[in-house]
Amino acid sequence: MAEYVRVSERLALPRDLDVPITGSAQRQDEYRVHVCQDEAKAVELLRAEIGGRRVALITDDLVGVLHGKRLADRLAGVGLDVSMTSFPAGEASKNLGTAAELLDWLAGTELARRDVVLAVGGGVVIDTVGWVSSTYMRGVPYINVPTTLLAHVDAALGGKVAVDHPSAKNLLGAFYQPVAVVSNVGYLSTLADRDLRAGLAEAIKKGVIASPELFELIESRHRNILAADPAVTARLVHAASLIKCRLIADDPYEHDLRRPLNFGHTIGHAVETVAGYGHVLHGEAVAFGMACAARIAERRGLLDPTLRRRLTGLLREVGLPVTHDDLPASLDPDGTVTALGQIRKIRGGRIRFVLPVELGETVIADDVTDDEIRAALTALPPGGSDD
């Protein structure tokens, strides 16, 4: 006998057609962030999060060789139906062309709307695959499996997904939360030194804006972190993940752009755009952006010179750029200021700078001038030294 679900709706229609109709929609996303130290545990966690659904695993060509194919095989080995594809590694692939190719690939799979996409890789993979997931079938669930330190502590969290446009980084994007994050710090053992340092920039940022304890952990244990010590990196990733989740909870869709998490990013994004995507790593650009913001804060009398030197000293100690000469690509100050003008257009005519005051305390300034920015980009702080 057929079973039916009976639905009854008897709505009264208004007589006054001049009264506007109110449409509403509410959505609350919640997801678990798991931190583990080896792939066996990661597979166990992924199996539990995926359930019996089909899996489309997307990675880049480099991570595919290092981890992706093996992870796909292990997931298939525990009974999951897994399809896999990859695209060329690097920021240059984070574009509409790559996204379109991935959408075409998904359309050729048997993935249904309640199945799961796995984004396995660094920030480029996670940003791109997250955005593709947000558009395919008006949104399919996805799980982030970060493989770089930058992705572990930042990109995998918060649901900001996007691809780049020639005029601005992350111009084409959405807010679309993952259904889970599985952070296996064991993957960091295959990461290049430069990428580890770049990832550490985002963790240092979180220490400056929200946690003196995290900042001090990095000061005391950065050598262990850069050696990919799994016990120390697990502690770092767990702390950074907690901080980011707490900070975005009150405003996950950035209705208020006055967000401490943007510390270092205002100038950092402009530097990436001007240098050409991929020539300066995101973490390197953020480190330089933090140093510039600290100079602006010091010149305004907001930041004690001792703390500014402590921040730039840590950035230097872990091998990150704090002056324009430290950047791996030449910097055009005027071009950078012009790129900031594009950001100003996107943000309603204002650029908001996050300026550090103390560890765990910042101010948001929307009156930073182009002259202040140029001075921060090209000059050393008062006294002429960053030491």
- Supply the residues annotated as catalytic: 138, 160, 202, 244, 254, 258, 262, 265, 269, 282
Residue 143's H or E segment, with its range, is strand 142-146
Q: Which residue has the tokens 């920015």?
A: 373
Q: How many other CB atoms are found less than 10 A from the CB of residue 61?
A: 15
Ramachandran area for residue 81 (φ above 0: left; ψ -120 to 50: alpha; else beta): beta
Torsion angle of alpha carbons 372, 377, 382, 384, nearest 10°? -150
What's the N-to-C CA distance of the chain in angstroms?
81
Could you tell me the two tokens for 302?
């907001």
Q: Is the CA virtual torsion 319, 325, 329, 335 positive or negative?
A: positive
Question: In 10 A of CB 198, how many CB atoms?
Answer: 27
User: Is residue 321 within 8 Å of 327, Cβ to Cβ?
Assistant: yes
Determine whether 24 is exposed, middle or buried from the number of CB atoms within 10 Å of its CB (0-12, 13-18, 19+): exposed
Contact 342, 167 (CB under 8 A): yes
